């Protein structure tokens, strides 16, 4: 029997990790819009769809901010950042 563990997930609007926050800010200054946080394989599929629609796509690894919001997760807490990513898009100029 597997027991579910509750781990916190960072909300999209910031967090303590300055490097990740700077990467998000850099993309937004460059005209990218933050679209969603997804797990694989959906992350790659959505990136391909946006590229097919004529968008430039950037993906950043998702960094959980422990203690902000809790969700149930069956897997290893350390693997959250490896499984999820943030999708950014901007129209090709």
Mean confidence (pLDDT) of the chain? 77
pLDDT band, very low/low/confident/very high, at 20 (cuts 50, 70, 90): confident
Distance CA 43, CA 52 (A): 14
Q: How do residues 48-93 score in pLDDT, each as one tens digit?
A: 999 999 999 999 888 665 544 555 555 555 555 457 889 999 998 7
Q: How do the domains of the chain map onto residue ranges?
A: 5-91
For residue 67, what are its two tokens? 């203690």
What mean pLDDT comes out for the span 38-52?
93
Residue in the block written with tokens 């909300």: 11
């Amino acid at each position: 029997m597997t027991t579910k563990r509750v781990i916190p997930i960072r909300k999209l609007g910031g967090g303590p990790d300055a490097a990740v926050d700077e990467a998000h800010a850099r993309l937004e200054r460059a005209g990218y819009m933050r679209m969603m946080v997804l797990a694989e394989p959906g992350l790659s599929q959505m990136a391909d769809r946006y590229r097919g629609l004529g968008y430039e796509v950037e993906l950043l690894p998702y960094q959980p901010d422990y203690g902000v919001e809790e969700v149930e997760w069956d897997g290893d807490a350390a693997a959250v950042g490896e499984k999820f990513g943030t999708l950014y898009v901007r129209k090709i100029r």
